[in-house]
């Protein structure tokens, strides 16, 4: 889940598919979506990944987001994300579908990491 700041200052949360690249969390989103506009305006974000199965764990990454519209970077990123979540055989399909004008590559550089493992034990 991605947490970010709305234009009126409210915190918002949205699911995102991401990959880890060079110690950053990387995902793509539309430039004119709520996420895209918010990240362009205020780069402060948090990403939380939890394990919903006992004994439960989570990792929370606070960081600063940067965006890029580079077409090759977008194709590479969207393809890697597609392969991670949909399987290697569908990565190219996902990459082509999402590497279109108006999409952003978002890179989150961690500034703080919190985690807890085996919470129920």
* Residue 2, helix vs strand vs coil: strand
Residue 55 has a pLDDT of: 95
C-alpha 21/C-alpha 47 separation (Å) is 15
Is residue 121 a part of any domain in this protein?
no
- The answer to whether residue 35 sits within a structural domain is yes
Are the beta carbons of 61 and 92 closer than 8 angstroms?
A: no
The total number of structural domains that make up the chain? 1
Confidence class of residue 71 from pLDDT cuts 50, 70 and 90? very high
Q: pLDDT tens-digit profile of 91-100? A: 999 999 999 9
42-70, pLDDT tens digit by residue? 999 999 999 999 999 999 999 999 999 99
Q: What digits encode the pLDDT tens for the residues 5-49?
A: 999 999 999 999 999 999 999 999 999 999 999 999 999 999 999
Task: Look at residue 1 in the predicted model and tell me its pLDDT.
Answer: 97
**Predicted TM-score of the model (pTM):** 0.93
Mapping DSSP to helix (H, G, I), strand (E, B) and coil, where does residue 118 land?
coil
Query: Distance between CA 52 and CA 64 in Å, rounded?
Result: 26
CATH number, residue 74 = 2.30.110.10
CA dihedral in degrees (79, 84, 89, 90; nearest 10)?
Answer: -50
**Would residue 38 count as lying in a domain?**
yes
Q: Which domain holds residue 87?
A: 2-116
For 118, how many CA atoms within 13 A lie in the half-sphere containing its CB? 1
pLDDT score for 18: 98
């Amino acid at each position: 889940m991605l947490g970010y700041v709305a234009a009126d200052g409210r915190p918002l949360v949205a699911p995102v598919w991401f990959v880890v690249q060079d110690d950053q969390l990387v995902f793509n989103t539309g430039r004119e979506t709520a996420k895209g506009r918010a990240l362009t305006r205020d780069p402060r974000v948090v990403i939380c990944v939890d394990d919903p199965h006992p004994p439960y764990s989570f990792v929370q990454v606070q960081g600063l987001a940067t965006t890029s519209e580079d077409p090759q970077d977008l194709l590479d990123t969207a393809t890697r994300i597609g392969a991670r979540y949909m399987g290697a055989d569908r990565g190219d399909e996902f990459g082509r579908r999402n590497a279109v004008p108006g999409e952003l590559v978002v890179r989150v550089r961690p500034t703080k990491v919190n985690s807890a493992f085996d919470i129920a034990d």
